[in-house]
């Protein structure tokens, strides 16, 4: 399914988008990747959504990527004996391990690992940061705090600890069970919550054992501080601005977003910008102007994908939300300023023959009348490098691996096509010409750039670049075997 844009759209599935008809409509409206939120729904429900997505993929003959988002460890307070309590500025409030229901002066925080990491002066944020507590003194089983920002606290509200690196694994026991389930199911990407350091990613990678690509969610200050090492061991990144905006001052999030997107682009790894992109469309058929500007900003930065959460999962207007995001993307990418920004922010990365070939492919496409860059890829690495170049022309990625095709759906600008096993480069060029014509990107009188590695189906062997006609008769009369 050919899109009139390069950036991809990730849509979260939920109660508002769980039927075949709705999922197909979302894909036709512009959703390229479907996110399964493992925080909600049973394994049976997740399996049913996965089955429907694969049926839509088959019916429309269009590769679709599935992203399973693991919940991560959830830090929450206990319960209160007399219902919600109003905490006011300057009051004292204690957190401890006592499971007795709380009152106005204390509540249980059943996470001894938090107390082990706290220091006087640390802050605790409750209920998405609406309540802020400053630790005055603490021990292995308690923290005596002063209320810095008051508010209503109630049963099982979430707790964030922004000031310290917690001695917690990114994967809870639930996450481990979920990971094994979705990997056996056949998802393409795993999103890791609560990543703080590179070893969190390695743990998930070892458990996944190649069955899914690993995408790290950057939602904690520690992940920002350790970003380069996290990026190196991840296959992709999600800038999860929700929790990031809770644990850091909100004004810090936009520059962090820009820095992380550029680092991902330089590393040729896909990056998703997520959270509250069209939040008002949960209840309204129209977004706010500020939301449209926010989505546009992520597109101008060169992000690989933008994501809808509750808008498509539980909102009243899921199709309208996808349609709006698609329309914004098409309009921004048609703006001449978009190309100026993308090209000005391109960072040269030349470390291998493949790097040189994909850079040459982009330069040839931009200086002559080339309709598309067609790259044959086994593992997806070459296609990711072409995507990093952010060329002006479409990228046709051709592979015999359905798993590779699905994972590449997340990458900027890619139009993924399945092809059979190849033995000769001439056949690769013919297949590229056919795929480009079938997608409506080129006609017989046009030219394309074809890159491939010979021998075929060996990762990391990209070593050929060919400017070829889209007319098969010309290919057979001019191409060597």
**Residue 76 annotated to the active site:** yes
Phi and psi at 303, nearest 5°, equal -60, 150
Q: pLDDT value at position 348?
A: 67
Q: pLDDT value at position 378?
A: 87
The answer to whether residue 26 scores a pLDDT higher than 90 is yes
Query: Beta partners for 161?
Result: none
In the chain, where the domains are located: 8-72+169-334, 85-160, 353-478
**Residue 177 annotated to the active site:** no
Which CATH fold topology does 8-72+169-334 show? TIM Barrel (3.20.20)
Helices of type H across 186-252 = 198-208, 221-225, 227-233, 241-247
**Residue 157 annotated to the active site:** no
The CATH class of the 353-478 domain is alpha beta
Question: Which of 76, 346, 426, 434 is labelled catalytic?
Answer: 76
pLDDT confidence tier of residue 32, bands split at 50, 70 and 90: very high
The answer to whether residue 481 scores a pLDDT higher than 60 is no
pLDDT confidence tier of residue 478, bands split at 50, 70 and 90: low
Q: Give the separation between CA 432 and CA 428, rounded to whole angstroms.
A: 6
pLDDT confidence tier of residue 477, bands split at 50, 70 and 90: low
Homologous superfamily assigned to 85-160: PK beta-barrel domain-like (2.40.33.10)
pLDDT digits (tens, 9 = 90+) for 224-268: 999 999 999 999 999 999 889 999 999 999 999 999 999 999 999
Question: Which of 258, 265, 269, 275 is labelled catalytic?
Answer: 275
Q: pLDDT value at position 349?
A: 67
Q: Give the separation between CA 401 and CA 380, rounded to whole angstroms.
A: 9
Question: Which of 8, 217, 269, 362 is labelled catalytic?
Answer: 217
**Residue 79 annotated to the active site:** no
Question: Which of 5, 8, 24, 35 is labelled catalytic?
Answer: 35
Taking residue 336's Cβ as centre, other Cβ atoms within 10 Å add up to: 6
pLDDT confidence tier of residue 410, bands split at 50, 70 and 90: very high
Evaluate whether 429 touches 454 at the Cβ level (below 8 Å): no
275: helix, strand or coil: coil
Q: Give the separation between CA 32 and CA 1, rounded to whole angstroms.
A: 9
Q: pLDDT value at position 462?
A: 81
What are the tokens at 163?
């000031």
Q: 164-168, 337-341, 474-478 — which is least confidently predicted?
A: 474-478
Mean pLDDT of the chain: 93
Integer CA distances (angstroms), 198 to 179, 202, 211, 232, 239, in order: 18, 7, 19, 8, 16
pLDDT digits (tens, 9 = 90+) for 339-394: 999 999 887 666 788 889 999 999 999 899 999 999 998 889 889 999 999 999 99
Q: Give the separation between CA 193 and CA 201, rounded to whole angstroms.
A: 10
């Amino acid at each position: 399914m050919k899109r009139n844009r390069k950036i991809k759209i990730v849509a979260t599935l939920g109660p508002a988008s769980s039927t075949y008809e709705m999922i197909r409509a979302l894909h036709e409206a512009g959703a390229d990747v479907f996110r399964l939120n493992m925080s909600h729904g049973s394994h049976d429900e997740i399996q049913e959504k996965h089955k429907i997505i694969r049926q839509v993929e088959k019916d429309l003959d269009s590769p679709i990527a599935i992203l399973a988002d693991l919940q991560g460890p959830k830090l929450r307070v206990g319960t209160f004996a007399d219902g919600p309590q109003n905490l006011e500025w300057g009051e004292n409030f204690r957190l401890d391990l006592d499971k007795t229901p709380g009152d106005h002066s204390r509540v249980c925080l059943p996470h001894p690992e938090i107390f082990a990491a706290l220091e006087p002066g640390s802050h605790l944020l409750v209920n998405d940061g609406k309540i802020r507590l400053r630790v005055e003194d603490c021990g292995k089983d308690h923290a005596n705090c002063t209320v810095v920002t008051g508010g209503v606290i109630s049963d099982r509200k979430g707790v964030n600890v922004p000031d310290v690196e917690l001695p917690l694994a990114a994967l809870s026991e639930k996450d481990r069970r979920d990971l094994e389930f979705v990997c056996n199911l056949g998802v393409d990407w795993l999103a890791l919550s609560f990543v703080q350091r590179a070893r969190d990613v390695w743990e998930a990678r070892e458990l996944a054992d190649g069955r899914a690509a690993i995408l790290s969610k950057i939602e904690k200050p520690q992940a920002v501080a350790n970003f380069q090492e996290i990026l190196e061991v991840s296959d992709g990144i999600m800038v999860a601005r929700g929790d990031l905006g809770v644990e850091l001052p909100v004004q810090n999030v936009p520059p962090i977003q820009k820095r992380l997107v550029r680092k991902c682009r330089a590393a040729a790894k896909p990056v998703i910008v997520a959270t509250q992109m069209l939040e008002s469309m949960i209840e309204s058929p129209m977004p706010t102007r500020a939301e449209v500007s926010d989505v546009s900003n992520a597109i101008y930065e060169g992000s690989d994908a933008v994501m809808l959460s509750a808008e498509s999962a539980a909102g009243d207007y899921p199709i309208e939300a996808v349609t709006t995001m698609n329309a914004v993307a098409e309009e921004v990418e048609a703006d001449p300023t978009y190309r100026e920004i993308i090209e000005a922010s391109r960072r040269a990365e030349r470390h291998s023959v493949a790097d040189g070939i994909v850079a040459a492919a982009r330069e040839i496409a931009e200086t002559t009348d080339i309709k598309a860059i067609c790259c044959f890829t086994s593992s997806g690495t070459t296609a990711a490098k072409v995507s990093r170049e952010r060329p002006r022309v479409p990228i046709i990625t051709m592979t015999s691996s359905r798993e590779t095709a699905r994972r590449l759906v997340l990458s900027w600008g890619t139009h993924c096509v399945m092809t059979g096993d190849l033995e000769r480069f001439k056949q690769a060029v013919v297949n590229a010409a056919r795929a480009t014509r079938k997608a409506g990107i080129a006609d017989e009188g046009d030219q394309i750039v074809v890159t491939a590695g010979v021998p075929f189906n060996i990762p990391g062997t990209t070593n050929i670049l060919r400017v070829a006609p889209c007319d098969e008769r010309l290919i057979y009369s001019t191409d060597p075997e």
